[in-house]
Amino acid sequence: MKYLFLLFLASFIALSCTKEKREDSVCTTLNKTSFNQLHNGKKEGIWLESDNYTYSFVPYTNGRLNGFKKIYDGKTQKLLSLVRYSDGKEIGPCFYFNDNGQLSFVQDSISVNTKFIEQAKAMGFMGKTYQSYVIMFSQDGTKAKEGWCIYEDDIESNGEEVGEWIEYDTRNLQ
């Protein structure tokens, strides 16, 4: 619990310090009422959201996701992902981490699928699909492969590789 509070405190300070406060050497003011605020009935600022497995620091502007959403494992408090939003849409780059805290993959160029419509149908996707460019990393942090993925809701749960992929030799060749 002590570590969760420290993580919460550090994340809050990093996210809530204004430009003026950053000009001081350290931002030391912790205003606990800064989370989960409504302005004209819409979410504004940083919201702390959670479910049974994760908790997240979620930035809102005028009721829409805007900025990096930080998602943590509720049990281990490890960072799982940083997902970038603009005007309510996931745009990338997004960073996903493995259980050891190492970068697992980066997702960017996120948009509605226009390049791989036939592949999506052939793979059994029934609804609206998205496409994104993905770079995957090996356990030692080197690039393993990169290419395009398509998915319906969540790249982690139903992402599928499509098109040509570049694969890198991740063996130690010394």
Do residues 147 and 161 lie in contact, with contact meaning Cβ atoms separated by under 8 Å?
yes
Residues 61 and 3 in one domain: yes
Residues 84 and 13 in one domain: yes
Q: Between 12 and 64, name the one with better pLDDT.
A: 64
Residues 125 and 153 in one domain: yes
d(C-alpha 40, C-alpha 48), whole Å: 19
| Closest of 27, 71, 30, 28 to residue 47, by C-alpha | 71
For residue 8, pLDDT beyond 60: no
Token pair of 10, please?
A: 């550090």
Query: What pLDDT sits at residue 33?
Result: 56
d(C-alpha 158, C-alpha 123), whole Å: 11
Sequence-distant (≥ 6) Cβ neighbours of residue 149 within 8 angstroms:
107, 131, 132, 133, 134, 155, 159, 160, 161, 162
For residue 11, pLDDT beyond 80: no
Residues 134 and 171 in one domain: yes
Residues 60 and 134 in one domain: no
Residues 84 and 126 in one domain: no
Residues 113 and 170 in one domain: yes
Residues 86 and 144 in one domain: no
For residue 5, pLDDT beyond 80: no
For 91-115, write each residue's pLDDT tens digit: 999 999 998 899 999 999 999 999 9
| Location of structure tokens 């979620």 | 58
Residue-averaged pLDDT of the chain: 83
Query: What pLDDT sits at residue 173?
Result: 55
For residue 19, pLDDT beyond 70: no
CB-side neighbour CA atoms (13 Å) of 12: 17
Query: What pLDDT sits at residue 172?
Result: 60
Residue 120, H or E segment:
helix 117-122
Residues 8 and 83 in one domain: yes
Residues 80 and 160 in one domain: no
Look up the domain containing 53 and give its range: 1-91
Residues 34 and 111 in one domain: no
Token pair of 105, please?
A: 């993959």
Residues 116 and 151 in one domain: yes
- What total number of domains does the chain contain? 2
For residue 27, pLDDT beyond 80: no
